[in-house]
Structure formats: structure tokens, C-alpha cells
Amino acid sequence: MGISAVDFGKFHFGRIEIDGVTYERDVVIDRGRIRKRKKKASKRFREEFGHTPVSVEEEIPWKCQRLVVGTGRYGSLPVMNEVKLEARRRKVALLILPTDEAIETLANQPKRTNAILHVTC
């Protein structure tokens, strides 16, 4: 399991190409499947962080050994402490990197790895 079949194309501010499809919003890669990040559950924390963070309230793809969170072009996506604690509790290695570095990590080491990728800021 993992995302070994996923092929990353170009990543530009506000746009990422995966498997030949361009996405203009945050994406989640869960065991090779790509879906839109549903951040509605995390919106209530927006004021506290100045940005909608990744929170345990949203659907995080935990069925993996490693979860890579791409925090955007400039690393602006906050990841709440509860997510870090939950990753530790589940024994999932959590890597929090700017999205271009996250993509590089995913391309080089896709095995048993899921991802949440922020495509702007």
C-alpha cells in the first residue's frame, strides 16, 4: 500500500498536477486515491490560527505508516498539536514540510505514505 502509482507533475502556487489531473485546491492522498481536502470541520479554528489549520476534526488519512503534510508554497498551513499527538498515538510518522518538499518526499519514498497537500500560501 502507498502512493507508488501517483505521478506528480507541476506544482505552482494554487495548482498541483497529479496523475495528469490539475487540482486547484488542497488534496488528500489516501492509499493511492486522491480527493479534495474537506476542511470545513477545521474552519472553526481559523481565527485562532489566521488560516484554516489541519485539525483532528477533519478526515485525516491515518491508514499508513507515514503521513506527509505539505504546508503550502511558503509553509503557511498550520498543523494543530492534537494532530501531532494523534499521529504519535497511532504510531504514524508525521512529516510537516512545505508542499514542494512534501511532493519530493512522496515521489522518492511513496511506500505506505499518505498525504495532505496545501496548494497555496
User: Helix, strand or coil for residue 84?
Assistant: helix
CB 103 within 8 A of CB 117: yes
- Give the tens place of pLDDT for each residue, 49-106: 999 999 999 999 999 999 999 999 999 999 999 999 999 999 999 999 999 999 999 9
Cell numbers for 111: 511506500
98 vs 41, 44, 57, 63, 72, CA distance in Å?
23, 23, 22, 22, 5
Residue 3 has pLDDT above 90, yes or no: no
- Give the tens place of pLDDT for each residue, 9-36: 889 888 999 999 999 999 999 999 999 9
pLDDT of residue 13: 83
pLDDT of residue 5: 52
pTM: 0.93
**CA atoms within a 13 Å half-sphere pointing along the CA-CB vector of 109:** 11
- Domains annotated on the chain, with CATH: 8-117 (3.40.1230.10)
